[in-house]
Amino acid sequence: MIYEQSPLITKFISVPKELDSLKCEYFNAGIIKGILDSAEFPSTVQVLKSPKNWIVYFITFDEKVMKREANLNS
């Protein structure tokens, strides 16, 4: 998990009223996913809000990554 109190990238984005439901934090999640995928750590990244209104990027690695890492530790 990655916690972020006020995402810097989305801080200066102004969203039109008709797109009020648009969540700009998904842009950051895409960047995180792209970096992990290019480093051969395929995963999914979900965006959640914590009770303290922090943004949480919840990262779930694919099963093949977990198996690969388990083999390295044995």
The pLDDT of residue 22 is: 79
The pLDDT of residue 21 is: 80
CB 57 within 8 A of CB 9: no
The distance of Cα 9 from the centroid of its chain, to the nearest Å, equals 13
Per residue in 4-62, pLDDT (tens digit) is 988 787 778 888 888 878 788 888 999 999 999 999 999 999 999 888 889 999 999 99
The string of DSSP letters for the chain reads -EEESS-HHHHTPPPPGGGTT--THHHHHHHHHHHHHHTT--EEEEEEE-TTS-EEEEEEE-HHHHHHHHHHH-
What's the pTM?
0.80
The pLDDT of residue 53 is: 82
